[in-house]
Structure 1
Amino acid sequence: MLQQARHKNANMPRCAFLLLCFVALASTAGERLVYPLHSKGEDPEAYVVELLQLALRRSGGDYQLEPSLEPMPQSRAQLSLERNDGRVHVMWTMTTREREADLLPIRIPIYKGLISWRVFLVRADQRDLLADVTRREQLEALRMGQRHDWPDTAILRANGLNVVTTPGYESLFRMLDAGRFELFPREVVVAWDEQRRAEADGLHLAVDEHLVLHYPTAFYFFTSRQRPELAAAIQRGLEAAIADGGFERLFQRYHGKTLRRARMDKRQVIELDNPDLPEETPIDREALWYRPLAPK
């Protein structure tokens, strides 16, 4: 018994030391920030996550960024931020008047405005479907796929276009392959990666080479209106990354090759109106926007 007691007492300082180390590590881990996971498998928004990590590092704060445990629709992520319930702390999405009223926007366009330029995914056996299209009215007879809670859905419908919706992101690619609609407009910066993933899943899709849709808008980071200090931190970090060129280097690393491949200057541009563009959008701040087409 005496020997056991001595052995127990000898181990107590080591246990205390390990406990202190654990507390020290926990105290330096930073504030936990959860963002809504887009989908399972390969992350189609890896660029945005890395940009947010860059901004948080440059913010002067101490944060630990992590995704939600399961994929989360935009509508549910937005509701979480509106309630400030702690399930989600930051999200990114296209801006609208309603979103800017309900959430706190950081008005620096994540994709430098390229979210405004959309090319089409089509079935591989219909890759020339749009070869002769030059006007918006010619698109009205074709069906376009969108997720039900994407702001693009309202924009496309406001311009007289026929939109088929579904709650699931992955299901849109299967629906296009099955002929449930003819066109899936996608951001120029993600279309080819999405086509590659769809092909790996056994789907037969192609990126149209003829048209590009354009409507003015921006993708922003958003926080709860009850977290102005977090929004300010992200703003500081993004501004610092713009000033030292880190934002541009990251943008070019992810998207430079795709933009060259897109050959935007060779495409027919179809202009659409965006009736839901907030007046506060910083259109006149040239440094924030990528201009894919030279002024004519």
Structure 2
Amino acid sequence: MGRHPGCFRPNDYTSTMAGSNPNDQSATADVTAAPQISGFIMKMAGALLLLTHTLFVDALEVIKVRYPVPESEMDLRYEYPKQLLKLALEETLSSHGAYEIEGAKIRASQTRNEIFLRQGFNIDIIWRPENGSLDENFLPIRIPILKGALGYRVFLIRQSDQGRFHSIKTLNELKTLTAGFGHDWPDVHVLRANNIPLELTSDYEALFKMLITERFDYFPRGINEAWDEYEQRHPFLPELKVEDSILMYYPLPVYFVVNKSNKKLAQRVEVGLQKAIANGGFDQLFFSHHQSMLERANLSERKLFILDNPFLPESTPKGSQYWLKVGLDQTQ
């Protein structure tokens, strides 16, 4: 069968050149070497691309991230945010380069850590509940790292007082009792705005002892906190108990927060968190830490008292992917 004049096969070039002069060995050698040269060039190009990529990754600055450490050895609240931060950095390893992550050298209260962060000293990132003024002093990454769990509050109480809490039917009745709280905790303003009587202190560990010694009546704790705190302290505070009938709720997102000038870290953490949300890694980590607590909280069986949070800005994320899905009915 004949070939179309325009049809060209890979060996036509070789056969034509070699066939034109059977004695011309140099022409044959040159043509035979052509594929080898082409392959060599392709290999060199590939190696150059690989080298360029390697140099690009190496050229990315190794980012150092210092996170706060607990004030108390028994304080387990910092473990999950630390692991979530590491997940966000891992998710951006290929795009943003290597990182180093380490605990701060100095243990400090929330207030001191905020001062350190503004000064760029000792710490590079913290996590804080929204208080309506985060943007004034910091650069918040507005992805709720606890999916709103901190706003679901159960109470630590004295075991002998459980009957008193069982008898409470309304929020106004609850307001006849006094809550213990940290004086510099961001959501203390939410409780004040809702006229919750408070006994305040700057000493986190002291709150548990103050409860047992009847300095106040109950200690509102996030459902992500209460049972760890109870189990850590019950051996030497046997009167301590997680109250089993009331749930207080107010919307309370918690965000990673960085120094206002550290836009590079903020952008990287935000990208990493969004990637983790999209691929399921965020929820997997969250529920691996909190699923058992959610089950123990038995939320649907509790009397629900909802507080208003007047400090939420318009920038608060609304997407359902950021929040716990909990169906509850409000108590009067």
Shorter-chain-normalised TM-score: which range? 0.7 to 0.9
3-state DSSP of counterpart to 1:34: strand
Q: Is the CA contact (8 Å cut-off) linking 2:125 and 2:258 kept in structure 1?
A: yes
Post-superposition offset of 1:71: 2.4
Give the distance between the partners of 1:49 and 1:201, measured in 2 at CA.
28
Post-superposition offset of 1:87: 1.7
3-state DSSP of counterpart to 2:260: coil
Give the distance between the partners of 2:246 and 2:329, measured in 1 at CA.
18
Give the distance between the partners of 1:29 and 1:64, measured in 2 at CA.
11
Amino acid at match of 1:227: N
What does 1:65-104 correspond to in 2, within 5 Å? Answer: 65-83=101-119, 85-104=120-139
Q: Is the CA contact (8 Å cut-off) linking 2:304 and 2:328 kept in structure 1?
A: no
Tell me the matched-pair count.
268
Give the distance between the partners of 2:157 and 2:101, measured in 1 at CA.
35
Of structures 1 and 2, the larger Rg is shown by: 2
Percent identity reads 33
Amino acid at match of 1:286: S
Post-superposition offset of 1:152: 2.0
Describe the superposition over 1:74-120 as per-residue Cα deviations: whole angstroms up to 9, x where unpaired: 1111122223x232100001011212221111111111111111000
Q: Is the CA contact (8 Å cut-off) linking 1:128 and 1:208 kept in structure 2?
A: no
Match of 2:258 among 214, 217, 223: 223
The residue that corresponds to 2:241 in the other structure is 206
Please say if 1:248 is aligned against 2:283: yes
Q: Is the CA contact (8 Å cut-off) linking 1:124 and 1:205 kept in structure 2?
A: yes
Give the distance between the partners of 1:197 and 1:69, measured in 2 at CA.
24
Post-superposition offset of 1:276: 1.1
The residue that corresponds to 2:174 in the other structure is 139
Of 93-102 and 257-266, deviating more is 93-102
The residue that corresponds to 1:16 in the other structure is none
Q: Is the CA contact (8 Å cut-off) linking 2:128 and 2:254 kept in structure 1?
A: yes
Structure scoring higher RCO (CA < 8 A, sep ≥ 6) equals 1
Amino acid at match of 1:55: A
Between Structure 1 and Structure 2, the one with more strand by share is: 1
Match of 1:178 among 213, 225, 232: 213
Please say if 1:277 is aligned against 2:312: yes
The residue that corresponds to 2:88 in the other structure is 55
The residue that corresponds to 1:17 in the other structure is none
Post-superposition offset of 1:33: 1.5
Match of 1:32 among 64, 70, 84: 64
Give the distance between the partners of 1:201 and 1:56, measured in 2 at CA.
39
Describe the superposition over 1:169-227 as per-residue Cα deviations: whole angstroms up to 9, x where unpaired: 11111111111111100001110110011113335211111111111120000001100
